[in-house]
Amino acid sequence: MQSTQPVRWLSGLALVALAGIPIVSWSFQATQQPPAQQPAAVAAPTNPTLAASEQDRQRLMDLLHITTLRLGPQSRPEPQPGRLGLVNYDESKANPYPDLPDPLVLKNGKKVTTAKMWWNQRRPEIVEDFDREVYGRMPKNVPKVKWEVTSTTKGMNGDFPIVTKQLVGHVDNSVDPQITVDIQVVLNTPANATGPVPVIMQFGGFGGGRGAARGGAPGAAGRAPAAGRAPAAPPVSYGPPWQQQVLAKGWGYATINPSSVQADNGAGLTQGIIGLVNKGQPRSVDDWGALRAWGWGASRALDYFETDKSVDAKHVALEGHSRYGKAAIVAMAYDQRFWTAYVSSSGEGGAKLHRRNWGEQVENVAAPNEYHWMAGNFLKYSGPLHVNDLPVDSHELIALCAPRPVFLSGGSLAAGDGWVDAKGTFMAGVGAGPVYKLLGKKDLGTAEFPPMETALLDGDIGFRQHSAGHTDAPNWPVFLDFASRHMETVSTNTK
């Protein structure tokens, strides 16, 4: 008799890796070759988390009938067989696909001319493409979350008295009691507030230290620093911490721990919210990845904020840096309740144009240490297909945020943030502009890339490239200025 217990597909992978049993390598050739010319397998990595991630990625490749994946570019000068070559930072080579998908043309070729056509016809088409090919589908049967305030304390942040609430969102795990998901959120509001206040919620921030500030996730075992990114520079002061800048405006701030929703590795895909919904089984090729899952967690935190009398739930903003910048723009695009977002150095898979050949590429995100952010179908665009075959691009992700204000940010090439492609992010903002204008809002106001540290804040899409490296610190005051300008612009033109 067959057991009714779900098969724990990845449960033994770590032990397999430690036992020395060979595991399929991810060092594929850049172009397809006959089987006889395929390179010999490279010794399996010793990190069990990465080894399990590699096996799960190989399983998705098998489902998609992909035998070979291209490896993304590198910035290190030493040779790495199979790579696309050195990362491109040459503007003359950056735009091989200048014609982006038109966000205001239906798939049948008809032009979108009204807000009603956008909401009822074109927007659903774009969402479907992102669901199927890029970020994955969120299941319809995601369990409910019951929020608990585990503690309420009074304290100080600098000169500001605050009330801190430790929150835990208990996800109903009756479908699989062996998997527990407890969403961790900390909410801080001014102690002297006389009514509900706006709140800026940041992805990450748990665990402290430079890793958290740079977008590192707790529990992200097996992750090496992204190729092409400069080592962490010594801390530089950009004024008061962002939390104190928020409190100085009379607002509150919150942090959500993404890894309490979904682990930041492929080995964890049979755990967390993705694993819970799948009852411990591995993903199908169009199931949601970690970015959608983290966004789902932020939306559930917003559910709680809507019940808390200290929070102005109509003015809850998102902030994320690096991989959490990707999470911020994805969450903003899919949940129309969020007021605005600060999207910092999000790079490939975030606000950067996929089709732009600068810095991080589709092939980098398809690697074993990042593929879990995306749907399994995304692997196709590093194998038999190419980036220009994608039915959507990131300007349409930004367009999904319309008509709500979005602030885009990145650092400089000289300081080590070229990998995230600030100009490609700006170009995506330009490409989203027509949708904002159709809905009665303002675009960036220019298609010309602005000089370093020039803030574009007059429209509903904001942008500034700072001269520092891979950090969100320099643009916090700029974003708070941008958000303040849009305090009373929550749109009723939604459907």
Please name each of the domains of the chain with its CATH number.
7-88+362-387 (no CATH), 133-215+238-361+388-485 (3.40.50.1820)
The predicted structure's pLDDT at residue 79 = 65
The strand pair at 182-190 and 145-157 is best described as unpaired
The predicted structure's pLDDT at residue 77 = 66
Give CA–CA dist 344/309, Å, rounded: 30
The predicted structure's pLDDT at residue 209 = 32
Q: What φ, ψ does residue 343 adopt, rounded to 5°?
A: -105, 105
Structure tokens at 289: 């990845």
Q: Report helix angle 290-305 to 323-334, nearest 10.
A: 60
Q: Which residues pair with 317 in a beta bridge?
A: 200
User: Helix, strand, coil proportions of the chain in percent (round to 5)?
Assistant: 30, 15, 50
Q: pTM of the full predicted structure?
A: 0.86
Residue 97 CA: distances (Å) to CA of 94, 221, 241, 269, 393: 9, 36, 40, 34, 11
The predicted structure's pLDDT at residue 232 = 52
The predicted structure's pLDDT at residue 434 = 98
Give CA–CA dist 217/291, Å, rounded: 13
The predicted structure's pLDDT at residue 74 = 85
The predicted structure's pLDDT at residue 348 = 98
Q: Residues in the chain, how many?
A: 495
What single string gives the DSSP state of each residue in 325-354?
A: HHHHHHHHHH-TT---EEEES--TTTTS-T
Q: Quick check: helix, strand or coil at residue 35?
A: helix
Decide: 163 and 188 in contact? Cβ < 8 Å: yes
**Per-residue pLDDT of the chain in tens (495 residues, 90 and over written 9):** 444 443 344 443 343 333 333 333 332 223 333 333 333 344 445 689 999 999 999 999 999 999 999 999 987 666 666 677 889 999 999 999 999 999 999 999 999 999 999 999 999 999 999 999 999 999 999 999 999 999 999 999 999 999 999 999 999 999 999 999 999 999 999 999 999 999 999 999 775 333 333 333 323 332 333 444 445 555 667 889 999 999 999 999 999 999 999 999 999 999 999 999 999 999 999 999 999 999 999 999 999 999 999 999 999 999 999 999 999 999 999 999 999 999 999 999 999 999 999 999 999 999 999 999 999 999 999 999 999 999 999 999 999 999 999 999 999 999 999 999 999 999 999 999 999 999 999 999 999 999 999 999 999 999 999 999 999 999 999 999 999 999 875 433 334
